[in-house]
Amino acid sequence: MKSDVCIVGMGAAGATAAYVLARAGARVTVLEAGHTIGTADAHPDELTAAYARGGYGPKFDAEALTWRRSPGAETMPATHSLGRMVNGVGGSTQIYGTWMRRFQPHDFRQRTDTIARYGAAAIPPGANVVDWPIRYDDLEPYFGRVEHLMGVAGVPGNTRGVPTTDGNPFEGYRGDGLPLPPARRTPTGLMFADACRRLGLHPYPVPASINTEPFDGRPACTSCGWCTFYVCHNDSKSTAGNTFARKAVATGNVDLRTDCRVVEIAHDGNGTVTGLLYQDAEGRIQRAEADRYVLAGYTFENVRLLLLSGLGNSHGQVGRNFFTKMFWSVLGLFPGQRLNRFIAPAANGDILDDFVGDNFDHSGLGFLRGATISCEEQLQPVAAARAALPPGVPAWGSAYKRHLVENWNSIADLRIQPETLAYEDTFLDLDPRARARDATGLPVVRVTWDIHPNEQRLMDFMVERAREILGEMGAAQIWTGPKLTGVGSAHDMGGCRMGEDPRASVVDPELRVHDSPNLYIMGGAVFPTGGGINPTLTLQALVWRASEALARTG
C-alpha cells in the first residue's frame, strides 16, 4: 500500500523523522538495512564488539569506502578513527558515547562572523566557509524537545538566560533546563576540572543521553564502563532506537521493514521520485511507493544513493563540501595514582568549550575555528594496551610489558575534537573501480580528503593547550597520540549542503532537494559547516524542525 512518507534508515535522523511524522498522523514506511538492536545484542567484549563492531554494520562493511588524499593521489582502503557505522534500528546511537551537545550560535554564522571580526582574507584559500540558512534561535525549541525526549543528563549552561553554576558559559540561550542530573564525577575528571579552573578556563560535565536515574521506564546507568562502542546491556543508554523509534512504532502509523536495503531511487524525467527499489531479507527486489521520500541514512549512504540514481545534482553539488574530524589524544602519566578510568562510561567525562569555534580570539594564530578539549573516561584492557606510548617505550618486549603493568591505570587522556572546514578539494564521489562486496555489486563511495594547513595549525595550538592543562594537573610525563587516525570519524558531514541557492547547495532550509519536489535529505550530509562539537543533538533538532514542516505540507 502506498504510504504518505517513505523513510530510508531508522537511525538518529530516520527515527526522529518517523516519530514526528507519525505523531502528526502520517502513514510512514521505514526501510532499514539492519535489524532491531536491543539488550540481547550487548557484548561486553573488546575483541568481538568494539573493534569489529560485533557484526552491527554488515552493509557498511560490505560497501567499504575508498580514500585518496587529493584528486590526483592514489586510492586506498579508507581507515576509521572512531570505527565503522552501525546498520540497525537506532543506527550508531546504539554504540555512541551519548554526548549530546548543542551547536552554538556562532556555528550558524561562520562566514559573517569571520569576515566581521578578522576580514575576508582570514578565510583559507579554497575553503567554502558559509553561513547556515537558519540560525540557532530557529533550532532552540527543537534542541529542548530532543533533550527531554532522550533524557539528557547534565548541567545546563543557562536556564532562560540565567547562568547556571558549573554549566557551560558558552552555550546559547535555552528555554528550559535538562531532565536529568549529571553523572557522578570521576577522579580524572575532578583533576581536570580543578586544573582548568586554576588556568581561568570553564570546565563542565558532559551532557549525555544516559540515565543517571530511572527515566522513561528504563533503569539508571550502573557505570559498568562498557558504553562507547558497545550496545547497552541495561537499556540505560538512550538511543534513537529505544526512544524515537520505539515511540514512533507505538503510534501504529509506522510500517518498519528491517533487513531491507535500498538500491535505487526511481524517478521521472523531472526529478519527481516515483518509488524506492530495495532488496528485502530474502534478497528479492521490492518496490516501496509514497507521496514523499526521505533519505535518512548516514552521510556516505545519502550521497551514494543520490549519485547512483542521478538525482539532486543538476549543479554538481552532490558530494561537494564534505568534511570530517580527527580526534587527537594528549596523554599524561601520573605515577602511582590509580585513576580507575575503567569504572565509568565516557559520558562521565568533563569538557570545556573555551576553544570551540570563535569562543576565543584568533588574531595572529593563523587558523579559523577551534576544538573541544575533554577528559576521557572508559578504559578497557585491550584499549589500554593499544594506547599511544610515551617516547622511549617500545611497542613490544619486556620494556613495553613493564610500562603497561606499572602505568596503564595511571594515564589520563585529553581528547581534542577539532572542527574541519569544507574545501574545494574535499568531496565524495563514486569510485570508478571499487564495488560493494555483496550481491548488489554497486559502486562504493570514494572519499577525497586530507588535513589542510588551517587544521594543522589549529591542532598544533590545541595540543599546546592540552599540554598546559595536563601540566597543571601534575602529570609527570606528557605525550601525544597519532594526528591522523582515519578519514572516517563517525562525525562525517557535508556532501548534500543545505542552502537557499540551488547553484551552491543540494537541499533547501526545510531539507527538500532543490531538484526533486518530493525528496528530502535528513542527516549530517546537509550540514553547511561543522563544529568542534558532537553533531547528533543538532542533527536531531534539525530533522525534527524539517519533519514538522514536511508534516504541514501533507
* CATH class of domain segment(s) 3-66+83-156+184-553: alpha beta
Over range 287-302, report the average pLDDT: 97
Q: What is the sign of the dihedral through the CA atoms of 168, 169, 171 and 177?
A: positive
Contacts of residue 136, Cβ cutoff 8 Å, sequence gap at least 6: 103, 104, 105, 107, 108, 172, 173
Q: How confident is the model at residue 60 (pLDDT cuts 50, 70, 90)?
A: confident
SS3 453: helix
pLDDT for 51 equals: 53
pLDDT higher than 80, residue 34: yes
Strand 285-288: give its sheet, edge to edge.
261-267, 273-279, 285-288
Q: What is the DSSP letter of 49?
A: I
Q: Is the pLDDT of residue 52 over 60?
A: no
Average pLDDT over residues 58-83: 90
The span from the CA of 440 to the CA of 437, in Å, is: 8
- Percentage with pLDDT > 70 across the chain: 99
Bridging pattern class, strands 28-31 and 3-8? parallel
Residue 295, pLDDT score: 98
CA distance 126 to 152: 38
- Contact indicator for 373, 414 with CB cutoff of 8 Å: yes
Alpha helices in 66-135 (DSSP H): 110-118
pLDDT in tens, 400-445: 999 999 999 999 999 999 999 999 999 999 999 999 998 889 999 9
pLDDT at 53 over 70: no
> Taking residues 76-85, what's their average pLDDT?
84
Instruction: Show the cell assigned to 446.
Output: 570514494
Task: For residue range 241-284, list pLDDT tens digits in order.
Answer: 999 999 999 999 999 999 999 999 999 989 999 999 999 999 99
Q: Specify the range with the lowest mean pLDDT, choosing from 195-204, 211-220, 237-246, 545-554.
A: 545-554
Rounded CA-CA distance 112/202 in Å is 26
Q: How far apart are CA 530 and CA 251, in angstroms?
A: 34
